[in-house]
Amino acid sequence: MTFSKDIHNRFKEQASWTYQVQELFFKSAHLIPQSNVLEVGCGTGAFLQSLSSIGKVNLYGIDIQPDLLTAAQTNTISSQIACADANSLPFEDNLFDAVLCHYFLLWIKNIDRVLGEMYRVLKPGGMMAALAEPDYGSQINYPSEFSILGEKQRESLIRQGANPDFGRQLPTALARSGCSDISFGIMGAFQQVSYNSEQIKSEQQLISSDIHNEISEEALISLLKQDTLCRVENTRVHFIPTFYAWGKK
C-alpha cells in the first residue's frame, strides 16, 4: 500500500467509527499521562491522532511501510514512530502499559506470532487490544439484491491475502496469546438512518476499489446507483459486524 490522501482520509474515517470503543478502552486499561501505549500497524498515524484526543499518554507507533510512516511522522508530531515488523518488535520485554491495533489483524498471516510479540512487550498487568476487526462473512445486506456486493468484496479480500472473517476469531486469538480477563464486543449495533452523501461516497469508493475486477463495470454502476437510491429512501441496511477485544497480561 502506498500513501495517498484518500488512504489517510479513509484511516481517519475508520478511527472516527471506533471513537467510543477507544474511550472505553482507555477507561478499562486505567491509562494515565505516564502510560506508554504502542500501536502496531499505525499506517499514516490517523488512529494515533484519534487516541491523542482521548487522553494524554505517551504514544508510540510502528509500521513496516516507510511511505505510510512518512505521513505518520507529519500527522502525529507528539508520537514516536518507527519502521518495524510486527513479527519482531524492536522493543524490550514488559515495556508498554497498553499495546493495540486497529483494522490490522485481518491482514496478518501469522496471527499467533504477532500477538505473541505484542504480549511480550506488554507490562504485567497491562492491556492488549484489537479495537476493530471486521467479520465480512456475517455481514447483512438488505435488500437482498445487494448481497452480491458483500460476497464479491469478501472474495476480493481473500485474494488480497486477508482473512475477512477474522472478527469472530479475535477473542480466541487473544486467549492463545496468553491474555486473561478477556472482554469483547461488536460495534455498530446503533445506527442512524440518514442520508449522508460524503459517507455514501466513501463507502462506495471502497467497495468499488475492492470489487472492480470481480464484477462487470456496467453491473457495478447499476448496483451503486440502486444503493444510493435506497439510502435516500432509507430502505438500505448494510451492516458488517466489527469486533473489538482486549485482555490483560
* Tens-binned pLDDT, residue by residue, of the chain (249 aa): 555 677 888 888 899 889 999 999 999 999 999 999 999 999 999 999 999 999 889 999 999 998 888 888 877 666 899 999 999 999 999 999 999 999 999 999 999 999 999 999 999 999 999 999 999 999 999 999 999 999 999 999 999 999 999 999 999 999 999 999 999 999 866 566 665 677 777 778 778 877 877 888 898 889 889 988 998 888 989 899 999 999 999
Tell me, what's the pLDDT at 10? 86
| CATH number for the domain that contains residue 244 | 3.40.50.150
pLDDT (0 to 100) of residue 189? 60
CB 107 within 8 A of CB 86: no
CA distance 59 to 35: 8
Q: Are 92 and 61 in contact (CB under 8 A)?
A: no
Indicate the number of domains in the chain: 1
User: For residue 107, what is its C-alpha cell?
Assistant: 491482514
* Cα 7 from chain centre: 13
Contact at 8 Å (CB) between 114 and 105?
Answer: yes
Phi-psi region of 122 (alpha: psi -120 to 50; beta: other; left: phi over 0): beta
Pairwise CA distance, residues 102 & 107, whole Å? 11
At residue 191, the pLDDT reads 62
The DSSP code sequence of 180-234 is EEEEEEEE-SS------HHHHHHHHHHHHHHHTTTS-HHHHHHHHHHHHHHHHTT
Domain coverage including residue 90: 5-248
Whether the model pTM is above 0.85: yes
Instruction: Report DSSP letters for 122-168, one per residue.
Output: EEEEEEEEEEEEE-GGG-EEESGGGHHHHHHHHHHHHHTT--TTGGG
Which pLDDT does position 206 carry in this prediction? Answer: 77
